[in-house]
Structure 1
Amino acid sequence: MSKKTRLPNIAEVSIVLIGFILIMYLFIGVLSLPIQLALFVSWFLVIFLGLKLGHTYRDMQKGLLNGINQGMEAVLVLTTVGALIGTWIAGGIVPSIIYYGLSIINPSIFLFATFVICAVTSLATGTSFGTAGTAGIAMMGIGHSFGIPLPLVAGAVISGAYVGDKLSPLSDTTVMTASLSKVDLVEHIRSMLFVSTPAFVGASILYLLVGFLYIDRSPSLSQAEDAMSSLAKYFHIEWYMLIPAITVILMLSLKKPSIPTITFGALLGAIWAYLFQDMTLLEAIKTSYNGYSIESGVDFIDNLLNRGGIAWMFEVIILIIFALGLGGLMEQVGILKVICNNMLSWANNAGKLTLSTLLAGFFGNFFGGAAYVSLITASKITEENYERLKIDKRVLSRNTEAGGTVTTPMVPWSDGGVYMATVLGVSTLSYLPFLWFNFLVVIISIIYGFTGKFIWYTNNSEIKKPETDQSTIRV
């Protein structure tokens, strides 16, 4: 026997969303409790609303599991990246990158170089997580040695990492967005270039200008020299330490699947630790799970290199699972549908439509906790309005990336926000002001929407009107 359910009204949706924000503030800002608990308690808000709307516990469990399933690839990538970081530090790969970086990069252009290096790496590999976990960690170490504030370095790392996450044909979010928006992948990337190119140039100029401010008061290079000396003392530094990193980048560039490729990279790191860093094979393999541990007495070395391993990622994985589950619950009880309905009547021009897509993407990250969720909310909530206003789907796909992909590291409990804060050792709110590429992408997208620049229209014969929504559905 089917049971009648209904969609929540806007007042009920508002109460749940306000309740979520209050829970997050109370748990994190007042009680200093783990963010995982805040997300877990938030499940009950949505469950109570679902029961009021007529949903069964079984239906809501199904929605919860569907939400988690949407982000399982990210969870597996996190697991393998944790293993890779552990073995790459033990194998001397990350220390060697830091060592050579310190020897060739000038402090005044360091932020610009960090942004460009991470952008090139992410474009070649298609992964922001992999970029931050390899090149990003190295840049954090070099920046620390130059005395540059770590939140600023993290901002440059993450900005560069999301250039490729947004643009690379190897990126899962790029491919997924093109698919959800029903746009050819190449056309999707070409469309994004109109936004990403000026954003990249603008961010580069900003990082250069800020870098040059350090010329008059840059720290003595003796600090960098001391760091190089310490690295050389504890690790065998040679050019062939970079072979695992080059191998992984080449494999990802050849479109090899990310999870087995990163796993293979972790194996290479363990082999390098055994062959060149005087570790037993068993000790080297253990670093893939427990991470690398060192007590050198040098704060720089200890703070930077005591990390990695699958176990290091456990809290991050739990947080992401809770966030994904919350997003699945909200979709199951119809919260996303109600928001979609209200956006349909409001977004009646290109500017408002662009803004609504960006907000829908951010909403997916804020309440769904993952880039995958944000891409679904941004594309599916606003898709009908693009058809109704005869705006080309390339604009939809471009705005979906701007609202979904690049806002992911801005949310402290999203998969991207948690991962970046954990791997780089800088809190989300600390690095947030320095995500200049990400902010420029959003700002330029809004400017294009309200000015009509690079907004393309289709040749459909008539404009569709929004459909009247049913207040009651059957399941």
Structure 2
Amino acid sequence: MSADKRLPTLAEVLFVLVSFILIMFFFVVEFGIPIQLALLTTWFMIMLVGWRIGYKYKEMQDGLLKGIYDGSEAVLILISVGALIGTWIAGGIVPSIIYYGLSIIHPSIFLLAAFVICTITSIATGTSFGSAGTAGIAMMGIGASFGLPLPLVAGAVISGCYVGDKLSPLSDTTVMTASLSKVNVIDHIKSMLYVSAPAFVIAGILFVVTGFFFMENSGDLSQAKATMASLDEYFNIGWYMVIPAAIVIILLAMKMPSIPVILFGALLGSIWAFLFQGVGILDSINILYAGSEISSGVEFIDNLLNRGGIVFMLDVIVLILFALGVGGLMEKIGILRVICLKMLSWADNAGKTTVTTLLSGFFGNFFGGAAYVSIITASKITEENYDRLNIDRRVLSRNTEAGGTVTTPMVPWSDGGVFMAATLGVSTLAYLPFLWFNFLVIIISVIYGFTNKFIWYTKQDSVNVKKQENQKIASS
């Protein structure tokens, strides 16, 4: 840092953080102003602090643009998934999955089924966005037909989607986390299983118990039957409708690049709409951009399936670009660095270090608006502490996923939060209490940290840890 610049003081950092929260609250909650404008306003608030500590506008603009560039892949994925959602609905792919799901899945175990199906899809494809935009939308339709609360269904869907986003070797966040933490990808995944496996089992049990409770109090399946009849009347339903979905999953499982594969899947949806659903060839192509418009006769199905297309994602894309800009500005003027230094001075054991990593990841999502930002903040802000305490970097990579990837759908203006809310038709705050897998990953990670369970040390420190344990046993 040059002599004419300095790090922001703690008071200046608190000013930025508190101002950010107040702007978001008053713009969105009190005045109903779009969240995009709230984020744009925070740009100038952060620039004011940057100017005060010696940065010129051009320097801050460079930081802003870098933040947007670092998250640009997420924007391209959003565009691709938006096109895919529209054509897969119009092509009868999603309606067919809903139809067959209603006929074979028992209502009492539906929440578990939605959780597991989205888990399998996300592990196979490596993308939470793609899984939610395909299998997730289908599960929402089935759950609504069974009379289950949509926020609860969305919680099961998103929980499943983030199992794969966190564990799949095809996931960009998994590969990115391992790379930033300097850990082999397979070792990283093995490390995460110590947390994810118990979280998955417990979340599954919770979804089973909750499913039995709701179906015991709401066993009327007439809505499900009406939905099936309406879908059968409006769409050509058949097993061959799911061929595009199978092709996309296979291609992604073969480690093909996600963006061209998703766009290819969207094109297949247009072809299916033309071949099997009676949609004109020009209209089937236009769906890629404009999305699907149907009138099935069932109001909640129409609300669920009238979506998709690139246009459907434009508001989401603008919001994410503004949020990425916020993260880039905070990184440029040193706000994230100051937070890092404060955390490092406090974290003197594995438990506290785990907490700092989780918080750093959450801050990346809260103030940076994207999983990519959160993974960078979680790993880079706290990596020095793991080395200082001789904690194996596999623990760093595991905690980075827990604080970064897993908390992404919890923030209303992050890329994950915005995408899930827009795609599934349920607000972030509505589905938030039901993200049981996500919360369990965080809780179990903290427990491991403070109990020293599954916390591995380098050889140098493992001897010291063993000595300390023996001393405790001897003194007791």
Under a length normalisation based on structure 2, what TM-score does the superposition of the two structures give? 0.96
Deviation of 1:77 (Å): 0.3
- CA distance, structure 2, for counterparts of residue 388 and residue 13 of structure 1: 26
Deviation of 1:223 (Å): 1.3
Deviation of 1:294 (Å): 1.8
Q: Deviations over 1:421-459 (max 9, x none)?
A: 000000000000000000000000000000000000012
Q: Deviations over 1:323-375 (max 9, x none)?
A: 00000000000001111111111000110000000000000000000000000
- CA distance, structure 2, for counterparts of residue 298 and residue 439 of structure 1: 35
Q: Which residue does 2:42 correspond to in 1?
A: 42
Residue ranges of structure 2 left out of the alignment (5+ in a row): 463-476
1:75 aligns with 2:83: no
Amino acid at match of 2:189: I
Q: Which residue does 1:198 correspond to in 2?
A: 198
- CA distance, structure 2, for counterparts of residue 248 and residue 296 of structure 1: 27
Under a length normalisation based on structure 1, what TM-score does the superposition of the two structures give? 0.96
Residue ranges of structure 1 left out of the alignment (5+ in a row): 463-475
- CA distance, structure 2, for counterparts of residue 208 and residue 354 of structure 1: 30
Q: Secondary structure at the match of 1:22?
A: helix
Q: Which residue does 2:262 correspond to in 1?
A: 262
Amino acid at match of 2:437: F
Q: Which residue does 2:388 correspond to in 1?
A: 388
Q: Deviations over 1:226-256 (max 9, x none)?
A: 1000001110001000000000000001001
Q: Secondary structure at the match of 1:147?
A: coil
Q: Which residue does 1:62 correspond to in 2?
A: 62
Amino acid at match of 2:162: Y
Deviation of 1:461 (Å): 7.4
1:339 aligns with 2:366: no
In 2, are the aligned partners of 1:227 and 1:300 still within 8 Å (CA)?
A: no
- CA distance, structure 1, for counterparts of residue 142 and residue 219 of structure 2: 12
Q: Which residue does 1:465 correspond to in 2?
A: none
Q: Which residue does 2:91 correspond to in 1?
A: 91
- CA distance, structure 2, for counterparts of residue 297 and residue 266 of structure 1: 25
1:292 aligns with 2:289: no
Amino acid at match of 1:241: M
Amino acid at match of 1:206: L
Amino acid at match of 1:166: K
- CA distance, structure 2, for counterparts of residue 120 and residue 296 of structure 1: 29
Deviation of 1:418 (Å): 0.2
Q: Deviations over 1:3-52 (max 9, x none)?
A: 61110011110011000000011011100111101100011111000100
Amino acid at match of 2:260: P
* Percent of aligned pairs sharing the same letter: 70
Q: Which residue does 2:397 correspond to in 1?
A: 397
Aligned pairs for 1:169-184 (under 5 A) are 169-184=169-184
Q: Deviations over 1:283-338 (max 9, x none)?
A: 00111100011234420331111100000000000000000000000000000111
Aligned pairs for 1:313-324 (under 5 A) are 313-324=313-324
Deviation of 1:69 (Å): 0.4
Q: Which residue does 2:373 correspond to in 1?
A: 373
Aligned pairs for 1:303-452 (under 5 A) are 303-452=303-452
- CA distance, structure 2, for counterparts of residue 324 and residue 57 of structure 1: 17
Q: Which residue does 1:473 correspond to in 2?
A: none
- CA distance, structure 2, for counterparts of residue 185 and residue 446 of structure 1: 22
- CA distance, structure 2, for counterparts of residue 314 and residue 270 of structure 1: 20
Q: For this pair of structures, how many residues does the alignment match?
A: 462
- Alpha-carbon RMSD across the aligned residues, in angstroms, is 1.2
Q: Which residue does 1:223 correspond to in 2?
A: 223
Q: Secondary structure at the match of 1:216?
A: helix
Amino acid at match of 2:369: G
Q: Secondary structure at the match of 2:5?
A: strand
- CA distance, structure 1, for counterparts of residue 152 and residue 383 of structure 2: 36
- CA distance, structure 2, for counterparts of residue 344 and residue 438 of structure 1: 25
Q: Secondary structure at the match of 2:459?
A: coil
Amino acid at match of 1:382: T
